[in-house]
Amino acid sequence: MKNTRRWTFPLNATFWMSASLAGMAVLAGCATKTPDEAKPASTGWVKNQVADAYTFGFPLVASDIARERASGNAGQPGQAPLNAFRHASALPPVGAAGSPSVDTLESTAWLDVSADPVIVTLPAAPRGRYLDARAFDAWTNALYSSADTTPYPKMQLIVFVPAGWTGTPPAGATRVETRTRYVWLSVRVRVNGPRDVREARKLQTAMRIDTLTPAKGSVAETTPVVAGAWGASSAKQPAVPPLSTALSSATPGAQAEALDANAFFARLARSLDDNPAATDDTHAMSNLADLGVKPGEPVQFRKTDAPLLDSGLADARERLATVPSNALTKNGWIWFGDSVGIYGTDYTLRAYLARRQQATSTKDGEVKPVARVDSEGHALNGANQYALHFAADQLPPVRGFWTITAYTKDGALADEKLPRLSVSDRDRFKKNRDGSIDVIVSAKSPGRAHASNWLPAPEGEFQLSMRLYAPKPQASDGSWAPPPVERQ
């Protein structure tokens, strides 16, 4: 027997079907609207999306600015072509920003591995002469650091190649792969004051940068770089607004922070074309695409979104001004251990350091505690006298060497007329009876009795920076901490 069923719709189902049909008609009408009209209204979530995108991309933008400033015009002082060293021939001048080291002479280079692997040759460090070489990709991730293992290295032969390169490197060379087209290289040689600069410069003259492919006329066989490692659009990248000349003396991080949303994301999109994100950055890249920021493509925001973008950038800048939760903090000092240099998806830490400590090495290469307040939480001021009491067994633990430098509150070098700009493990400190050492910090001399232990400070508010080159593990695992800065 065949059953014939009669299908009926309840009244509420009929109502919702009618509503659905009406909704489809509305959507069909939206299809004829302009992109700006069809785009959904901005929400608080989108504001957070802008802040996240800014935090994620900040290191790459700061790095792009640093490269442009260093190699944009080889005819300008301090600039050089890509794949060429820029040697500092003297210690940093008064007013130099970015808390520069006054105990090392630095040689830097921006490497471009898009056309050919790049070979870096560094001389052996003479006995007792500290030398470290460190390299970072365009996202400020650490690629190489000789100080991690050997603070007083023998001759180094390093070849930088694109990820996936299958050629044959020179015999004895250390192979370093990079997924980014550009690599920032820094080589630092210790100097013991201005009179020692000449000896350090002898090492600079022995540093070389070459490409793997022999010069024209050579009969040696070569292997090309990875095909398609960077997009063909790199030669025709969209233009970005020029940098402000008013900030020409500021650090790249400060210049990046000063950009508005349009200039920031335009520069980010252009740089992404040559310096792709990591595999783990898929979500962050999707977030950028939702905002209309895509590698190598022009960025065009709606005028009506300007307040939203400004608000998102303000939130991100506040985020970058806040000490990350994974910082080590003790006795008024702030420094970092795990994750530094190898950030993974810790975008906030990476951006925070890109803003304040350009090209921060791993915890095995350098640790840099910074203090801006005394033991009672008051801002350090040169009008006061302070003491750092190091117990006999609590001096900074290093395989290399350590220094303490006083800078202005903004991280600039103070007056060069000061008797010294730093103190270090080479100084002949006057010890207490128990073997401990008191470092005196003030703008005014504490007198002849304490002259050997005096670190001159700038007048007004200042900050202290302690550098531990090739530190021991206890410097970053929390078992050691710098002493409090006690007001006398």
Per-residue confidence band for 24, with pLDDT thresholds at 50, 70 and 90:
very low
Is position 371 within any domain? yes
Q: Among residues 159, 184, 211, which one ends one of the domains?
A: 211
336 and 469, same domain (yes or no): yes
pLDDT at 261 over 50: yes
Q: Which residues contact 153 (CB under 8 A, 6 or more apart)?
A: 122, 124, 125, 131, 132, 133, 146
Mean pLDDT of the region 335-361? 92
Q: Mind listing the pLDDT tens digit for each residue in 187-219?
A: 999 998 888 999 999 999 999 999 998 643 333
Per-residue pLDDT tens digits for 79-120 = 789 999 999 999 888 888 889 999 999 999 999 999 999 999
Q: Tell me the CATH number at 445.
A: 2.60.120.600
pLDDT at res. 247: 79
Positive or negative, the CA dihedral 48, 53, 56, 60 is negative
User: Is it the case that residue 77 has pLDDT exceeding 80?
Assistant: no
Are residue 335 and residue 477 in the same domain, yes or no? yes
* Residue 165 included in any domain: yes
**Residue 130 is assigned to a structural domain of this protein:** yes
Average pLDDT over residues 130-143: 96
pLDDT band for 42, please (50, 70, 90 cuts).
Answer: very low
Last residue of a domain, one of 211, 226, 245: 211
Res 230: pLDDT: 54
User: Mean per-residue pLDDT for 161-186?
Assistant: 95
pLDDT at 31 over 50: no
The 3 state secondary structure assigned to the chain is: CCCCCCCCCCHHHHHHHHHHHHHHHHHHHHCCCCHHHHCCCCCHHHHHHHHHHHHHHHHHHHHHHHHHHHHCCCCCCCCCCCCCCEECCCCCCCCCCCCCCCCEEEEEEEEECCCCCEEEEECCCCCCCCEEEEEEECCCCEEEEHHHCCCCCCCEEEEEEECCCCCCCCCCCEEEEECCCEEEEEEEEECCCHHHHHHHHHHHCCCEEEECCCCCCCCCCCCCCCCCCCCHHHHHCCCCCCCCHHHCCCCHHHHHHHCCHHHHHHHHHHHHCCCCCCHHHHHHHHHHHHCCCCCCCCCCCCHHHHHHHHHHHHHHHHHHCCCCCCCEEECCEEECCCCCCCCCCCHHHHHHHHHHCCCCCCCCCEECCEECECCCCCECECCCCEEEEECCCCCCCEEEEEEEEEEECCCCCCCCCCCCCEEECCCCCCECCCCCEEEEEECCCCCHHHHHHEEECCCCEEEEEEEEEEECHHHCCCCCCCCCCEEC
Asked if residue 419 is part of any domain, the answer here is: yes
Look at 89-103, 156-170, 228-242, 281-295 and tell me which has the smallest mean pLDDT. Answer: 228-242
CATH code (residue 124): 2.60.40.1610
Looking at the fold, whether 202 and 337 belong to one and the same domain comes out as no
pLDDT, position 417: 74
- Higher-scoring residue by pLDDT: 3, 209: 209
Task: For residues 143-147, give the mean pLDDT.
Answer: 95
pLDDT tens-digit readout, 313-347: 999 999 999 999 989 999 999 999 888 999 999 99
Of the pLDDT bands very low, low, confident and very high (cuts 50, 70, 90), residue 249 is confident
In this prediction, residue 226 has a pLDDT band, given cuts at 50, 70 and 90, of low
The pLDDT of residue 288: 96
> Does the pLDDT of residue 5 top 60, yes or no?
no
pLDDT, residue 220, reads 38
- Does residue 71 have a pLDDT over 90? no
CB 437 within 8 A of CB 429: yes
Residue predicted with more confidence, 40 or 208 = 208
pLDDT in tens, 369-403: 999 999 999 999 999 999 999 999 899 999 999 99
- Asked if residue 8 has pLDDT above 50, the reply is no
Residue 33 lies in a domain: no
Instruction: Decide if 284 is inside a domain.
Output: no
Please count the structural domains in the chain.
2
CB 296 within 8 A of CB 288: no
pLDDT-based confidence at residue 64 (cuts at 50, 70, 90): very high
Query: Taking all residues of the chain, what is their mean pLDDT, rounded to a whole number?
Result: 86
CA 112, CA 110: separation in Å to the nearest integer? 7
Q: Residue 231 above 90 pLDDT?
A: no
pLDDT at 14: 38
Query: Are residues 199 and 332 both part of a single domain?
Result: no
439-487 tens-digit pLDDT: 999 999 999 989 999 999 999 999 999 999 999 999 998 899 999 999 9
Domain membership of residue 64 (yes or no) is no
From 170, 188, 211, the end of a domain falls on 211
For 266-282, what is each residue's pLDDT tens digit? 999 999 999 999 999 99
Lowest mean pLDDT among 167-181, 239-253, 301-315: 239-253
Give the pLDDT of residue 80. 84
Q: Let me know if residue 334 belongs to a domain.
A: yes
Residue 183: which domain range?
A: 73-211
Mean pLDDT of 139-163: 94
